[in-house]
């Protein structure tokens, strides 16, 4: 959250609070849905529940797919802690990638992250939402 000049932990806390607020608002709106007739009520309930299942499914997929947390997804879901790599500027990442012979994907610095795979790097622990330290 560069715009708000937040530390990584403060940004995680901010996004956690924001997401919690959105979820509470959704649940309140779902509880306050007006009633029409039984068939319309059933269809609206089915639609709104589908929205909730979609969000929940995306959350589950994020931990289970290995896309965001690798093989640590279940541990991250349970402990709500992640391991952060040190910040690498795009130009430094490209330079390291070239030295390591790793191809940069579409000039997006993707290789900069790829070159860290399998290396011991200094990082830090962070808590995904609330009360942790970096």
pLDDT (0 to 100) of residue 58: 93
Q: Round to whole Å and give the CA distance between 50 and 62.
A: 18
Among candidate residues 94, 74, 72, the one with its CA nearest the CA of residue 84:
72
pLDDT for 21 equals 94
Question: What is the pLDDT at residue 81?
Answer: 83
In angstroms, the CA 11 to CA 106 distance is: 28
Nearest to 37 by CA among 25, 28, 49, 45: 45
Q: How far is CA 133 from CA 43, 65, 68, 97, in A?
A: 45, 27, 21, 31
CA distance linking residue 113 with residue 110, whole number of Å: 6
Per residue of the chain (134 residues), give pLDDT as tens: 678 888 888 888 898 899 999 999 999 999 999 999 999 999 999 999 999 999 999 999 999 998 888 888 899 889 888 877 666 666 676 676 667 665 544 444 443 343 334 333 334 333 344 333 33
Res 116: pLDDT = 39
Residue 32 to residue 48: CA distance in whole angstroms: 12
């Amino acid at each position: 959250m560069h715009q708000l000049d937040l530390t990584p932990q403060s940004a995680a806390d901010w996004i956690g609070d924001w997401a919690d607020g959105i979820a509470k608002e959704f649940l309140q709106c779902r509880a306050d849905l007006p009633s029409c007739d039984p068939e319309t009520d059933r269809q609206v309930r089915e639609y709104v529940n589908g929205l909730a299942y979609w969000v929940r499914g995306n959350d589950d997929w994020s931990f289970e797919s290995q896309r965001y947390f690798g093989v640590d997804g279940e541990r991250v879901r349970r402990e709500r802690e992640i391991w952060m790599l040190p910040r690498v500027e795009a130009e430094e990442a490209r330079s390291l990638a070239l030295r390591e012979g790793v191809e940069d994907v579409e000039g997006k610095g993707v290789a900069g992250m790829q070159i860290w795979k399998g290396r011991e790097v200094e990082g830090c622990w962070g808590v995904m939402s609330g009360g942790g330290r970096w």
